[in-house]
Amino acid sequence: MRRLRRRLGAERGQAIVFVVGTMVCLIGMGALVIDGGSWWRAHRHLQTAADAAALAGVQELPASTSNAQSVAINYAQQNYAGLPSPSVTFPSSPNPPCGGTNCVDVVAQTTAPGFLARIYGLAFNNVTVRAHARAAVTVPAFMKNVAPVAVKNTVACAATSPSCYGRTVSLAFNESNVSSSTIGLINLTCHSTVSTACGSSSGIGGSQLKDWIESGYPDALPAGQWYGVKTGETVGPVKQGFNDRLGVPLFFPVFDTVANNGPNYFFHVIGWAAFVITNVDAWGPQGRQLTGHFVTYTTSDLPAGLPADGSNDFGVHVISLVQ
């Protein structure tokens, strides 16, 4: 009998250990579900705030890092109530797409409370939550919805001269002297790294050019390549296309150099500009001239492109999260 009592007592002790161990496991699983979920939501909320801050701040670059910093901090705190001021820095190492001052880093940090996990120690009373975001502002390496009108880089507004945007200018196309023209119609279906590879653009008609003016070329087109110049009597449809798009920004390729192979001419495209036509002064056999103004344009619909420099930035920018 005594031996049986001792055995039952030992089993009661084992049961208590088993119950305690089971409770610890259950509380641990509860902490994993409840506290872990709470910390994950806090991190996602913080990451969203950091992303928004980086995308807002980078739009002030490269013109002003101080403005970029204040805008980024303001956006982060608007999107996460009570958030301490995040760290805002500007990585300058030439690591594409960053180079110079076209990228902003936002590092945000706060704490999230624990609940069930507190039984495992003071470290779980408040858990540090951290988020990092990097955004870049670049010029497009490729551009969509392009109009078939190239503009000379010497008349296109450069981002380094912000007062140029909105100023009325007239752009002229002289078929008898393409090299002196400030604009020119181009064939968007052919581009090459070889200056004369595209040959003649005679197969592109006026109705096709009109469609590209009104709707934009459907595919993404690269900068840093040669495009054929379109000459010939494509007057009526093209003029109608311009009149249909008065007051609307059109994306113009920007060229720096002209080449030719006999009667065929080619523009070397180096970037992209946004131009608003306000008047079609003339578009006929005796002269072709548009009046309007350049504007800045920012999009997030394209992948990050190239760091802006003095030779490729004509006011069309891409903002994107790169980390």
pLDDT digits (tens, 9 = 90+) for 129-154: 899 999 999 999 999 999 999 999 99
pLDDT band at 114 (very low <50, low <70, confident <90, very high): low
Write the DSSP assignment of 43-57 as a string of letters. Answer: HHHHHHHHHHHHHHH
H or E element at residue 255? strand 249-261
- CB count within 10 Å of CB 171 equals 22
d(CA 222, CA 240): 27
Chain segment 204-217, per-residue pLDDT in tens: 888 999 999 999 99
pLDDT in tens, 175-204: 778 888 899 999 999 999 999 999 888 788
- Kindly give, in sequence order, each residue whose CB lies less than 8 Å from that of residue 212, ignoring residues fewer than 6 positions away: 146, 147, 148, 188, 241
pLDDT band for position 272 (cuts 50, 70, 90) = very high
**pLDDT classification of 161: cutoffs 50, 70, 90:** confident
**Per-residue model confidence as pLDDT tens digits over 15-53:** 554 444 555 554 555 545 455 667 688 889 999 999 999
Evaluate whether 228 touches 184 at the Cβ level (below 8 Å): no
Question: What pLDDT does residue 19 have?
Answer: 47
Task: Quickly state the pLDDT bin for 227 (edges 50, 70, 90).
Answer: very high
- Residues 84-101 have pLDDT tens digits of 999 999 987 767 788 878
Average pLDDT of the segment spanning 97-117: 82
Query: Which segment of 60-69, 101-110, 226-235, 294-303 scores lowest on mean pLDDT?
Result: 226-235
Closest CA to 185 of 234, 240, 245: 234
User: For residue 320, is pLDDT > 50?
Assistant: yes
The model carries a pTM of 0.80
CA distances to 88, 162, 169, 235, 308 from 159, in Å:
24, 6, 16, 32, 9
